[in-house]
Amino acid sequence: MSIAACAELVRRGDPDRFLAVMAAPVAARTQLFPLFAFNLEVARAPWVTEEPLIAEMRLQWWRDVVANAASGAARAHEVAGPLHDLIRDFGLPVAVLDRLIAARRRDILRDPADGTAGLTAYLEDTGGGLLWLAARALGAPDRAESAIRSYGWATASAGYLRAVPELAARGRQPVPAEMKTADLARLGLERLAAARRARRTVPKEVFPALLPGWQTERLLHQALAGNPAPGLSEFQRRGLLLWQAFSGRW
């Protein structure tokens, strides 16, 4: 039940976010690793079983933990314990955490019937919510919420587009029938532009929370251009991350 255990989970299960956190100042990692480990645990809950009921139970367990963070179940778990400390010490909004978990129920469904509106809400509650939680843990003021959520939505849309081939291979319907992947990429770029227009509302000390979005713009432009599997080379990935970490630009 330590930050090191959370970091190891993220390293193995979410390597891009691991690299982003390692590019952040050491002081920020204590807040970011437990939060991203929690997100990883919730994100993979629908995929560890073929039984929808079991997946629902796993997500409900996390909802219960968040609702009662001081419970024995939370304190004994290697991720839930540090998450409880974040909720207590930094006042993380429990409602945002709960919506992040609840949104993952969509991943259980093979063919969600909620269309474009449902996918938009999913990206808001997962990507937008996660980045807002990370920023709050680093002291973000309320005035920064809109910009950070927009940046998180854009980042989540890029990650989602990158996962589309695998989702389809697993028998899911990742993009609603009325939408094309280019449409989603265009929406992501619009959110990214909105976030940048409001950049002045985000204090510099919050910047480490935004590092996971370092690939966003490139991936979205690839998807918009028709690339069915957007992705960057290792050289491009590391170069962009270093540039963003040292420049402070996003």
How many residues are present in the chain? 250
pLDDT of residue 1: 56
How far is residue 67's CA from residue 61's CA, in Å, rounded to a whole number?
A: 10
- Answer yes or no: do 120 and 102 share one domain: no
pLDDT of residue 245: 96
pLDDT in tens, 83-113: 999 999 999 999 999 999 999 999 999 888 8
Residue 17, CA atoms < 13 Å, CB-side half-sphere: 27
pLDDT of residue 117: 96
With contact defined as beta carbons under 8 Å apart, do 38 and 7 qualify? no
- Cβ atoms within 10 Å of 44's Cβ, excluding its own: 14
Q: Is 250 among the domain residues?
A: no
Q: Is 97 among the domain residues?
A: yes
- Answer yes or no: do 42 and 154 share one domain: no
- Answer yes or no: do 205 and 165 share one domain: yes
Q: Is 238 among the domain residues?
A: no
Q: Is 248 among the domain residues?
A: no
pLDDT of residue 107: 95
- Answer yes or no: do 19 and 130 share one domain: no
- Answer yes or no: do 3 and 92 share one domain: yes
pLDDT of residue 2: 83
pLDDT of residue 76: 67
Q: Is 241 among the domain residues?
A: no
The terminus-to-terminus CA distance of the chain in angstroms comes to 33
- Answer yes or no: do 40 and 54 share one domain: yes
Q: Is 243 among the domain residues?
A: no
Amino acid at 217: E
Using alpha carbons, select from 87, 201, 92, 198 the residue that is nearest to residue 136: 92
Positions of the chain with pLDDT lower than 50, given as ranges: none
How far is residue 215's CA from residue 124's CA, in Å, rounded to a whole number?
A: 18
pLDDT of residue 186: 98
Q: Is 188 among the domain residues?
A: yes
- Answer yes or no: do 121 and 81 share one domain: no
Number of domains in the chain: 2
The rounded percent of the chain whose pLDDT value lies above 70 is: 97
Q: Based on DSSP, count helices (H) and strands (E) in the chain, helices before strands.
A: 13, 0
- Answer yes or no: do 10 and 45 share one domain: yes
pLDDT in tens, 23-57: 999 999 999 999 999 999 999 999 999 899 999 99
pLDDT of residue 113: 84
Task: Supply the range of the domain harboring residue 18.
Answer: 1-108
pLDDT of residue 75: 62
DSSP-derived 3-state class of residue 73: helix
pLDDT of residue 225: 98
Q: Is 185 among the domain residues?
A: yes
